[in-house]
Amino acid sequence: MTTNRQVLIEEMPKDRLTLSHFRVIEAPMPDPGAGEVLCKTRYLSLDPANRAWMQGATYRSALENGQVMSGFTLAEVVSSQDPAFKAGDLVECDGGWQQYFTKPGRALTRRDPRTPLSHLVSVLGVTGRTAHYGMASLGQPKAGETVVVSAAAGATGSIAGQIAKLAGARVVGIAGGAAKCARLVDEFGFDAAIDYKAENLFTALKRECPAGIDLYFDNVGGTTLEAVLFRMNLRGRIICCGVVSQYDTGQPAPGPRGVPGLIVTKRLTMRGFILGDEPELVSLADRELTTWLDQGQLIVAEDILDGLETAPGGLIGLLAGENFGKRMVRVS
Residues forming contacts to a second copy in the complex (CB under 8 A) are: 52, 58-59, 218, 221, 225, 235, 238, 240-243, 246, 252-274, 277
Q: 138 near 273, Cβ under 8 Å?
A: yes
Nearer to a second copy, 14 or 110 (CB): 14
Nearer to a second copy, 152 or 243 (CB): 243
* CB 218 to a second copy: min, Å: 7
* CB 58 to a second copy: min, Å: 4
Q: 168 near 143, Cβ under 8 Å?
A: yes
Nearer to a second copy, 32 or 222 (CB): 222
* CB 121 to a second copy: min, Å: 22
Distance CA(283)–CA(276), nearest Å, equals: 10
For residue 276, how many other CB atoms are within 10 A of its CB? 13
Question: Please, which residues have CB within 8 angstroms of residue 123's CB and are 6 or more apart in sequence?
Answer: 159, 289, 293, 298, 300, 326
* CB 260 to a second copy: min, Å: 4
Strand partners, 218: 240
* CB 216 to a second copy: min, Å: 11
Nearer to a second copy, 279 or 296 (CB): 279
* CB 59 to a second copy: min, Å: 5
Residue type, 215: L
Q: 328 near 118, Cβ under 8 Å?
A: yes
Distance CA(65)–CA(169), nearest Å, equals: 45
Q: What is residue 181's three-state secondary structure?
A: helix
Region label for 118, one of left (φ > 0), alpha (ψ between -120 and 50) or beta (otherwise): alpha
Nearer to a second copy, 114 or 271 (CB): 271
DSSP category for residue 106: G
Distance CA(121)–CA(44), nearest Å, equals: 8
Nearer to a second copy, 77 or 275 (CB): 275
* CB 100 to a second copy: min, Å: 31
Chain CA centroid to CA 312, Å? 17
87 to each of 40, 81, 97, 218, how far by Cα in Å?
A: 10, 10, 21, 41
